[in-house]
Chain A
């Protein structure tokens, strides 16, 4: 089973700053099957990025995804107040889906 490890566990930043979140897979995965989600308290997760780098419908362009092989990143170019949330990566391989444990982006 492929394990996704996200780092850091918590990122403390100020509005306007740049956030870089990491997702590392225990084995090489297909970039086409790597996605990122945002979750706010009391809400279901929302799809942000799929195929490693494609923004989902309605997602602002300050969100970008990159990476390949085992290392993937989600970057928020300039944090807006509504971006403080928890972010999860997710992968698919061989009829199995797995999630990372999440990174919390909190206001410094």
Chain B
């Protein structure tokens, strides 16, 4: 059973860079045909897709965040990472990592991690 676990700082200062890592177990992160993604949810709000990385390393980002986001894959560690720079209070949210399977659905999710942007 595929399992995902987010890790990273829970508090980031305004204007700094948010960095999170998702560790994958129970399956291969380099399996062909699949994506790995990041989704966030501001407290009490809906889900916002941040971006995906393909098993090949190709990346796809939400147009509204593209200028600030980098997602990368580290197959040697079975991890993929999110970097979001120049953060503001509006970036405070629960951040989830997820596997994107056939039909481009998010079929396995991490438990989520709360990141607060505050000085």
Residues of A bordering B, CB below 8 Å: 1, 32-33, 35, 37, 43-47, 50-51, 54, 56, 88, 90, 92, 95-102
Main SS of the interface on chain B?
Answer: strand
Q: In the complex the two chains form, is B47's CB within 8 Å of A33's CB?
A: no
**Chain B stretch 43-87: residues in CB contact (< 8 A) with chain A:** 46-49, 52, 60, 62-63
A47 to B2, CA, bound (A): 14
Least Cβ distance of A72 to chain B in Å?
Answer: 14
The answer to the question of B32 belonging to the interface, with a C-beta cut-off of 8 Å to chain A, is no
Given contacts A88-B47, A102-B46, contact A97 B104 (CB under 8 A): yes
Residues of B within 8 A of A46 (CB): 109
The answer to the question of B111 belonging to the interface, with a C-beta cut-off of 8 Å to chain A, is yes
Q: In the complex the two chains form, is B60's CB within 8 Å of A56's CB?
A: no
Kindly name the residue among A54, A92, A100 whose own CB sees the greatest number of chain B CB atoms within 10 A. Answer: A92
Q: In the complex the two chains form, is B60's CB within 8 Å of A99's CB?
A: no
Q: In the complex the two chains form, is B103's CB within 8 Å of A50's CB?
A: yes
Q: In the complex the two chains form, is A44's CB within 8 Å of B46's CB?
A: no
Contact with A along B84-119 (1 / 0, CB 8 A): 000000000000100010011111011110000000
